Amino acid sequence: MAQPILRAIEAEGYENPTPIQEKSIPPLLKACDLLGVAQTGTGKTAAFALPILHRLSKTCQKATPGRPNALILAPTRELAGQIADSFRTYGQRLHLRTTVVFGGVSVRGQAKALSRGAHILVATPGRLLDLMNQHHIRLDQVEIFILDEADRMLDMGFIHDVKKITAALPKQRQTGFFSATMPKSVQGLADGLLDNPIKVEAAPAATTAEKVEQKVLFVAKDKKRALLIDLMKDVSIERVLIFTRTKHGANRVAQFLDQNGIKADAIHGNKTQNARQKALKRFKEGNIRALVATDIAARGIDVDSVTHVINFEIPNEPENYVHRIGRTARAGADGIAISLCQHDERSYLRSIEKVIRKSLPVFDDHPYHAADVANGNTPPPDKSKHRKRKNKNQASLGRPNRRSGRKRRSPKRAA
């Protein structure tokens, strides 16, 4: 590894490589294609960034306008930004230029940056295609191509964009393919992109981080918010990511926390890029204690000091559970994942336990424990709703018909 890179790593305080780094860096340095299966938070950005920087530092001179030497494709704006930051950190002592492009901001500034030349380009698929179509960029000089978070790329519907982009790449190139899970669709994409790849695996596919302490709390649906506030009384929950399934749900939970004196913000696809970056910055700097997120938005969140993950709503796709709890216990730290399970989420919980191949420990020592939900019994009917419906029906039956007994008037003729 080039000495300037080693000095940058040392300056960051890194001493020993993570398993995915130890397994990925040697074959990537040898210019082999690589298929990497690794959960989030295992250090895979450095696993491909360091070999790319080393190779380009030896071979590249001046950057060519609009023609990068390395391309890293990421599914979200936040993840793209953080990958670019990592390249700049590790390559701070090298004469290599890194540019990042993503949607939600003006194309003009990004096009101008590309015109100055970039050795390394980090991009989201949609914006990259826009810039290609406007002839601001050509991919014919790309020597190294990295597809990161491939499973999420497919989940977000980027498969056709990815295929258009890869079709514009030189056939003679090195390709790295990273994914947390390997369903058949992802494996099919990998087979089409990789040439005799070396496969490395930091942990079995779809298993959860070993250092994350996981537990499930059974609760009635109408008591979830009260339970959340009760949990937030614990001072050890210093920085928490709270997950909902919908954007509106994220907004409601964040607003509810704020109303109860807990500084919080929401991050999801309906927020502008500036609003998302502002919320993430406040969270990283500790200005807010809780960040409420949807699954897609959270894939770009890379904050080492998240102490807890709370699944306010259990995901209906078990793989998303793996991604969610991977937001804590990062960089060797410990973390806790708490799932609040109401009755109609029990099937989601069973699917998760099947995928991670273990049963989640039940924590019932809380004031809102719902034994009927824990036992899988049908919850009692909501009497308040029944009472309102009954009263409404009674009122309608007892209300006199104002028109009864009256002769029906014929409509007046138009003049």
Helices 44-59 and 77-90 pack at an angle, to 10 degrees, of: 50
DSSP 8-state assignment for residue 260: T
For residue 410, is it within any domain?
no
Is residue 328 one of the residues assigned to a domain? Answer: yes
CB 143 within 8 A of CB 69: yes
In terms of domains, do 67 and 14 share one? yes
Give domain status of residue 142, yes or no.
Answer: yes
Q: How far apart are CA 263 and CA 279, in angstroms?
A: 11
Write down the pLDDT at residue 211.
76
Q: Which residues pair with 90 in a beta bridge?
A: none
Tokens of 126: 């949609």
178 and 259 together in one domain: no
Say if 47 falls within a structural domain: yes
Q: What is the CATH number of the domain that holds 108?
A: 3.40.50.300
Could you tell me the two tokens for 156? Answer: 């977000």
At 97, is the pLDDT very low, low, confident or very high (cuts 50, 70, 90)?
Answer: very high
Residue 258 has pLDDT above 60, yes or no: yes
Looking at 141, 169, 201, which one is the last position of a domain? 201
pLDDT tens-digit map of 291-331: 999 887 666 667 778 899 999 999 988 878 888 888 887 66
Same domain, 179 and 267: no
Strand order from edge to edge, sheet including 144-147: 98-101, 120-123, 70-73, 144-147, 174-179, 34-37, 198-201
Tokens representing 93 are: 């002592």
Average pLDDT rounded to a whole number, residues 360-367: 94
Tell me which residue range forms the domain holding 26. Answer: 3-201
Q: Same domain for 74 and 165?
A: yes
Tokens, residue 344: 């109609």
Q: Indicate whether 297 and 250 sit together in one domain.
A: yes
- Examine the domain organization and report whether 280 and 321 are in the same domain: yes
CA dihedral 372, 373, 379, 383 (to 10 degrees): 90
- Kindly state whether residues 285 and 188 are assigned to the same domain: no
Mark which of 150, 180, 201 sits at the end of a domain. Answer: 201
Q: Does residue 390 fall inside a structural domain?
A: no
C-beta atoms surrounding 113 within 10 Å: 17
pLDDT tens-place string over residues 138-153:
999 999 999 999 988 8
Judgement on whether residues 162 and 258 belong to the same structural domain of the protein: no
Number of structural domains, the chain?
2
Is there a single domain that holds both residue 299 and residue 361?
A: yes
Look at residue 21 and tell me if it is in a domain: yes
Q: Which of 201, 222, 240 is a domain's end point?
A: 201
